[in-house]
Amino acid sequence: MGYKSISYVSISKQAVYWQIIPKLRLSTILMSCYAAKISLPEEVERELLRYILSKQLPDGGWGLHLKEQSTVFGTTFSYIAIRILGLGPDHPDVVRARINLHKKGGALGIPNLGKVWLAIMNLYSWEGMNSPFPELWLFPTWLPGHPSTYWCHARHITLAMSYCYATRLTVEEDELIQSLREEIYVEDFSTIDWPAQRNNIYEADLHSAHSWMLDAAFATFNLYERYHFTSFRKQAIAEMYEQIKADDIFSNATNSTFHVLISRYADGADSPIVDNPPNYQRYYRQMNKGGFPFSNRENDWIVSDCTAEAMRTLMLLEEKCPFIEDHVAPQRLFDAVNVILSMRNSDGGFASYETRRGSRLLEIMNSSEIYADCMVDHTYIECTSSVMQGLKHFGKRFPNHREDEISDTLNKALQYCRNMQKADGSWLGRWGVCFTYGTWFGLEAFACMGYIYRGGEACKEVTKACEFLVSKQMEDGGWGEEFESYRFRKYIQHTVSQIHQTSWALLGLMAVRYPDVRVLERGIQVLIDRQTSIGEWPQGDIATAFYKAGTLHYNAYRIIFPIFTLARFTRLYPSSPVAKGLLKNGSVHSEQSQNGRC
């Protein structure tokens, strides 16, 4: 079974997909290209249109992701996207979408980020936005609420939005813009009271309501906006643009869709290449030498768990693959450890891109309206567990390198894991759905520190976590958890077991050597039964989550995690009849491959 999966991956990795782009970002890419007068190949436009229409809901609208009901945000953005891609206003799918949008009161109820993009597209007035107070970027960094303390993504989205607001960046009016003004609103565009729309958010779009402090801040900022100092505003615009240019140089742009427009606005169509910024701290970046980014090297935004997992993978490849002769220089691994140790938070755990800089109170100032828990780079069980596994493996390879610091980091990270475990034994996962995902990482953390089952017994944390997972095993032997678990912060059972969650649960149980092998065999059998003839597994439901309302589509999850699971099971339980069947099928397949028949 695993051999067929690896064969499938080796074939499918050669194709290029837009697999993980959220629907929201897809629409902004199209709006950015339209505004910057960038043409896409005809075949790309055709496939993008096909994809967007394939996700249209029965009521004619769209949500932000596949599990969400239709919203003003999702419907407005997808509507504009399919119009940009060439569908006329009388096309049946466009008419259905327009009817849906009008039933919701039109595009006026779109959340803050949507208002910004509509204003850029000349489909909304900048007067209909609460002022983000662009001058805040000129204030000292010790000021509470300074953008330098935000989570990196929140910081750079705020940066781009503030620049666009301060400069009133707007595309030229043309025939499509004029038509869209008539299509997406119930009212006549020229009669809309724009200031009255600043806090108008459609109920289904609101995932993070304004706090009274945020409303008070907006009232103050809006008043200042009426009388702001021109010279002060120009300084703020210059500072924001310098920050944006620095991000483009440091990485391949956190907010490339915004940056394309801003660069064209500021520098024209032939934007010059600027010099490297003098230092990363000036631009609120963290040291990154030795770290690994979320995607490719050019991205340059290192992540704690990516660094730890990559470091451990490099060491494992060298240890397990004797044919690899070109080993990584030890100093490169030392650099990775250096950056990991620099990212530890005061609670002992690890965040994603940076150390946590701001207080949780910053969430009170969250103005996104569609996302929650996005202002601060919080500490996560996933990142903490990956760091622990990476450092533990490194310590075995290099026992004398920063030994005391690594030991202290591991002990404090384990205590963080203890502190974050819920009463039912689970951990909340923030980057996958949800308690199944988090509990897998929690168990891996304890396992790497030696806390596993011995003689049928384990420590209380491991025992409770395993009891939690086993209690959620479904009748068919698999596991399935709804995306809504992440939103409501409580476990919600799926009606159908899911491949990715079955794999996560099994990996967690096997990590601590859960003694009831029958529980494991039932789950493994689900993976075996659902594998297709070409080696893949069905896509299943949403596997990833962020900010309570966002999702990403990682197509590889349904392949990678079952392979991990089957490999671990056959290695740990080779005498199991299920494992013997897997090994037998695998060896037969291998012989056929060598003989050229498969």
Residue 149, domain member (yes or no): yes
pLDDT at 461: 98
Q: Which residues contact 511 (CB under 8 A, 6 or more apart)?
A: 440, 443, 444, 447, 452
Q: Considering only CA atoms, which of 323, 336, 228, 343 is closest in space to residue 290?
A: 336
Residues 137 and 248: their CA atoms lie apart, in Å, by 18
pLDDT at 215: 87
Asked if 5 contacts 559 with a C-beta cutoff of 8 angstroms, the reply is yes
Residues 133 and 147: their CA atoms lie apart, in Å, by 11
H or E segment and range at residue 96:
helix 92-103
pLDDT one-digit tens code per residue, 234-278:
999 999 988 888 877 776 555 677 877 787 777 654 433 333 345
pLDDT at 10: 45
Residues 227 and 162: their CA atoms lie apart, in Å, by 17
Three-state SS at 515: coil
481 forms bridges with which residues in the sheet?
493
Per-residue pLDDT, averaged over 306-327, amounts to 91
Residues 498 and 115: their CA atoms lie apart, in Å, by 37
Provide the pLDDT confidence category of residue 594 given band limits of 50, 70 and 90: very low
Of 249-263, 295-309, 423-437, 533-547, least confident by mean pLDDT is: 249-263
H or E segment and range at residue 301:
none
pLDDT at 105: 95
| One-letter amino acid of 458 | A
Domain extent for 230? 130-169+219-285
| Residue that wins the pLDDT comparison between 197 and 67 | 197
Asked if 134 contacts 233 with a C-beta cutoff of 8 angstroms, the reply is yes
CATH classification of the domain holding 261:
1.50.10.20
Neighbours of 499 (CB within 10 A): 27
- Alpha-carbon separation of residue 470 from 43, 228, 517 (angstroms): 48, 61, 12
Residue 479 is classified by DSSP as E
pLDDT at 251: 67
Q: Which residues contact 529 (CB under 8 A, 6 or more apart)?
A: none
Residues 63 and 67: their CA atoms lie apart, in Å, by 8
Report the mean per-residue pLDDT for the chain: 86
Residues 260 and 330: their CA atoms lie apart, in Å, by 39
* Domain count within the chain: 1
Three-state SS at 5: helix
Per-residue pLDDT for 108 more than 60?
A: yes
Residue 155, domain member (yes or no): yes
Residue 135, domain member (yes or no): yes
Per-residue pLDDT for 586 more than 80?
A: no
pLDDT at 9: 44
Counting residues of the chain whose pLDDT is more than 70, the rounded percentage is 85
Residue 252, domain member (yes or no): yes
Residue 61, domain member (yes or no): no
pLDDT at 332: 92
Residues 370 and 285: their CA atoms lie apart, in Å, by 26
Counting residues of the chain whose pLDDT is more than 90, the rounded percentage is 58
Per-residue pLDDT for 598 more than 50?
A: no
| Residue that wins the pLDDT comparison between 485 and 178 | 178
Torsion of CA 247, 252, 258, 261, to 10 degrees: 100
Residues 24 and 594: their CA atoms lie apart, in Å, by 46
Provide the pLDDT confidence category of residue 343 given band limits of 50, 70 and 90: very high
Terminal-residue alpha carbon distance, the chain: 13
pLDDT one-digit tens code per residue, 44-85:
999 999 999 998 999 999 987 766 789 999 999 999 999 999
Residues 439 and 472: their CA atoms lie apart, in Å, by 12
Residues 119 and 508: their CA atoms lie apart, in Å, by 48
Q: Considering only CA atoms, which of 122, 22, 126 is closest in space to residue 74?
A: 22
Our answer to whether residue 541 is catalytic in this structure is: no
Q: Which residues contact 354 (CB under 8 A, 6 or more apart)?
A: 151, 152, 286, 343, 377
Provide the pLDDT confidence category of residue 299 given band limits of 50, 70 and 90: low
pLDDT one-digit tens code per residue, 349-366:
999 888 787 677 777 777
380 forms bridges with which residues in the sheet?
350
Per-residue pLDDT for 17 more than 50?
A: no
Residues 279 and 242: their CA atoms lie apart, in Å, by 13
Provide the pLDDT confidence category of residue 597 given band limits of 50, 70 and 90: very low
Asked if 385 contacts 441 with a C-beta cutoff of 8 angstroms, the reply is yes
Residue 437, domain member (yes or no): no
Residue 328 is classified by DSSP as P
Q: What DSSP letter does each residue of 129-198 carry, written as one string?
A: S----GGGGGS-TTSTT-GGGS-HHHHHHHHHHHHHHHHT--PPP-HHHHHHHHHS-SS-GGG--GGGGT
Residue 80, domain member (yes or no): no
Q: What DSSP letter does each residue of 202-243 carry, written as one string?
A: -GGG-SSPPPHHHHHHHHHHHHHHHH--HHHHHHHHHHHHHH
H or E segment and range at residue 373:
none
Which residue among 205, 300, 305, 377 is the active-site one?
A: 305
Asked if 128 contacts 198 with a C-beta cutoff of 8 angstroms, the reply is yes
Residue 194, domain member (yes or no): no
Show the CA angle centred on residue 237, arms to residues 236 and 242, nearest 5°.
100
Torsion of CA 151, 155, 210, 491, to 10 degrees: -30
